[in-house]
Structure 1
């Protein structure tokens, strides 16, 4: 599926984007892990969101509700942006 391959590419891009920062933090004695999450504009949830909530020890109904809320928030945000696509931005040219 096209959206799945895009999610995989987005995930790989995000992981790579913060690789240097993660290495720098570890070098300075911090524990660091990149945990990127991909959620599509229409609320399609990548497996990364499910994995993140599991790593945060969120299971069962709490995880299901959190995933639903994440999907609804992404969809509502996209709808809001789309509804204002023709409005002038608030900055000067």
Structure 2
């Protein structure tokens, strides 16, 4: 299982530590293991301004995505996080829930 967190860059290490310490998936992992599955939580952090944490590099390595494909994937992850953050910021004053 991959848990993606998009923190502000100055909080990357804190976000990674929180994801590991939280243990919010422990019950699910125990249940899956009881049913015969292997399960592991892999927290990944990609900063809101496009900085890709080492956890993303590690995830791609574990998925056997290497070389040019990994470089391209990391670039796309960074661009997607940055574009998404920009989109959210551009709509920060819009009401999300309209009460008509």
Q: Which of the five TM-score ranges fits, normalised by the shorter chain? A: 0.7 to 0.9
How many residue pairs get aligned? The number is 90
For structure 2, list consecutive stretches of 5 or more residues without a partner in the other structure.
1-8
Q: TM-score, normalised by structure 2?
A: 0.79
Q: Which 5+ residue runs of structure 1 have no aligned equivalent?
A: none
* Alignment root-mean-square deviation, CA: 1.8
Structure 1 Cα separation of the partners of residues 32 and 86 of structure 2: 37
In 2, the alpha carbon distance for the partners of 1:88 and 1:57 equals: 42
More helix by share: 1
Aligned to 1:49: 56
Higher strand share: 2
For normalisation by structure 1, the TM-score amounts to 0.85
Match of 1:38 in 2: 45
More relative contact order, 1 or 2 (CA 8 Å, 6+ apart): 2
